[in-house]
Amino acid sequence: EALLFAFGSIMDEEDEIIIPEPFYANYNGFSTASSVKVVPVISKIEDNFALPPIEEFEKLITPKTKAILICNPGNP
């Protein structure tokens, strides 16, 4: 619930949040409820699902980006 309230507090409709994928499935529900678009940055099994390099995050940042969600483990 805290993340749902955070989404609603810091983001407006059509804003974007970058989240490393795979991620906790409820993040999609939170974003839908807040009318926010999830922009996934893909982590790979070959890299043991480690976070991608910062450059991969930077490529996804747009004027609509309001947050980057890093949660470890991915299922709070």
Q: For residue range 1-30, list pLDDT tens digits in order.
A: 888 888 889 999 999 999 999 888 888 888
**What is the side-by-side order of every strand in the sheet holding 16-21?**
37-42, 16-21, 65-68
pLDDT given for residue 67 in this prediction: 94
pLDDT given for residue 23 in this prediction: 87
**73 pLDDT higher than 70:** no
The C-alpha atoms of residue 63 and residue 47 are separated, in whole angstroms, by 30
Nearest CA-CA partner of 32 in 43, 17, 50:
17
**75 pLDDT higher than 70:** no
pTM: 0.87
The C-alpha atoms of residue 32 and residue 38 are separated, in whole angstroms, by 9
The C-alpha atoms of residue 55 and residue 37 are separated, in whole angstroms, by 20
